[in-house]
Amino acid sequence: MQQYTTQMDAAKKGIITEQMKAVAEKENLDVEVIRARVAAGTIAIPANKNHKALDAQGVGQGLRTKINVNLGVSGDLADNEMEWQKVQTAIELGAEAIMDLSNFGKTHAFRKRLIDAAPAMIGTVPVYDVVGYTGKIVNDLTYKDFLAVVEKHAKDGVDFVTIHAGLTRHTAQKVLDNPRQTNVVSRGGSVLFAWMVHTGNENPFFEHYDELLDILARYDVTLSLGDACRPGSIADATDAAQIEELITLGELTRRAWEKNVQVIIEGPGHMALNEIQANMILQKRLCHGAPFYVLGPLVTDIAPGYDHITSAIGGAIAAASGADFLCYVTPAEHLRLPDVQDVREGIIASRIAAHAADIAKGVPGARDWDNAMSRARQEVNWEKMYELAVDPKKAREYHDSSRPAQEDTCTMCGEMCAMKTMNRILSGEAGCVKL
């Protein structure tokens, strides 16, 4: 039996894996199309060999836009049970990926619980865990410490890891030479920036990139190349630091593919509407068609408390223009750690954005859901409408909170319901509409 090390290695050898079959079935595509695109790097199937509960998903060319849910404890709010409720909410609402961004204490137990139970792709940012894992302060860390944490997460079963390997000392100097409104807003990027400044050394993930790739290939972990220089305000979008890092990410992508490590590229966080499409095209060109993962982008900076909306606007445009993977943003963004309700609202907003983009991109089957909802509305079939709603619970609660005199209408139109009127007329029913 022919052996392979990673999904990409199998695809290059012409081997169709069980994960490729699962993705092909979900996407209504020929499995050979999936295999060929995994081999080319334009589709990634994050699937760690040790994640036994995984229900494999594909991210990339020609596939449905996927969404990711961030959660995890912080030093100020370390409630693992609340985080577990968020996990259950994410699974209930169909999120394809969950990232555990815990950055306080010993994170292993929660991460293992998540991997053992969750069918979603699981991601982490290992640099968040490096201090808790090693017990050292940032200034005392060595490059081996950074790599050891990556290997620990990979061995645990994480399907993809965000690594800010593109923030080189040269790129860091770009940030210093070209002042930004919000400097470096990536948590992982800021840790590496501080470490480089203190030690005078190169980014350990860039300098020891081949060792990193060997670890990821061993467990078949997908490399999500983080954008440490992503804009944290619309003023910083598409600036020298962001573009310089993106060029480096393109070079690192090719090197990863040479070692059969799958790659996802992470993209901008804040960006004016008119810059989004150009940025998507630029990323795809510079990074050789690798799947693109965006946080938002948030299209304005003035909406704290409503950033799930600013994010959904940008996410829909980004995905319609080529992005493949949306990281949700909650109403709590920029304000506090999100609670369970925040997570729910963020997921729904991102799912709407992703689906709207899939319609625009012509993803096979995307319109079928909308057509089914339209038929249910035409039939005034409330139970079917609830069933098809992106958030059935909220749809039912809204309708039931204001009961109409006639049960087959709602309190907006009552007996003047256009659907009822047209159904009566077109069926030949006699009589006039009663007001």
Determine if the pTM surpasses 0.85.
yes
* 417 known member of a binding site: yes
Burial class (CB in 10 A: 0-12, 13-18, 19+), 58: buried
* 287 known member of a binding site: no
One-letter amino acid identity for 264? I
In the 8-state DSSP scheme, what is residue 160?
E
**Which domains are seen in the chain, by residue range?**
64-361 (3.20.20.540), 378-426 (no CATH)
* 99 known member of a binding site: yes
One-letter amino acid identity for 59? V
HSE of 197, CA atoms in CB hemisphere, 13 A: 11
Asked whether the beta carbons of 395 and 385 are under 8 A apart, the reply is: yes
* 229 known member of a binding site: yes
Strands (E), 287-343: 292-295, 325-327
Q: Phi, psi (5° rounding) for residue 231?
A: -70, 130
Please report the pLDDT score of residue 115 as a whole number. 97
Cα 199 to its chain centre, rounded Å, is 33
* 187 known member of a binding site: yes
What does each of the 435 residues of the chain score in pLDDT, given as a tens digit? 568 999 999 999 999 999 999 999 999 999 999 999 999 999 999 999 999 999 999 999 999 999 999 999 988 888 999 999 999 999 999 999 999 999 888 899 999 999 999 999 999 999 999 988 998 999 999 999 999 999 999 999 999 999 999 999 999 998 889 899 999 999 999 999 999 999 999 999 999 999 999 999 999 999 999 999 999 999 999 999 999 999 999 999 999 999 999 999 999 999 999 999 999 999 999 999 999 999 999 999 999 999 999 999 999 999 999 999 999 999 999 999 999 999 999 999 999 999 999 999 999 999 999 999 999 999 999 999 999 999 999 999 999 999 888 878 888 988 888 998 898 889 887 555 555
Please report the pLDDT score of residue 304 as a whole number. 97
Provide the angle, in degrees to the nearest 10, between the axes of the packed helices 143-156 and 209-219: 10
* 334 known member of a binding site: yes
Of 320, 142, 316, nearest to 328 by C-alpha is 316
Please report the pLDDT score of residue 432 as a whole number. 55
* 403 known member of a binding site: no
* 410 known member of a binding site: yes
Of 376, 431, 383, nearest to 407 by C-alpha is 383
* 198 known member of a binding site: no
* 209 known member of a binding site: no
- Kind of pairing between the strands at 43-44 and 59-60: antiparallel
* 80 known member of a binding site: no
Whole-angstrom Cα distance, residue 169 to residue 172?
Answer: 5
Q: Which two tokens stand for residue 313?
A: 């606007």
Asked whether the beta carbons of 162 and 188 are under 8 A apart, the reply is: yes
Whole-angstrom Cα distance, residue 386 to residue 243?
Answer: 45
* 432 known member of a binding site: no
* Cis peptide bond upstream of 297, omega within 30: yes
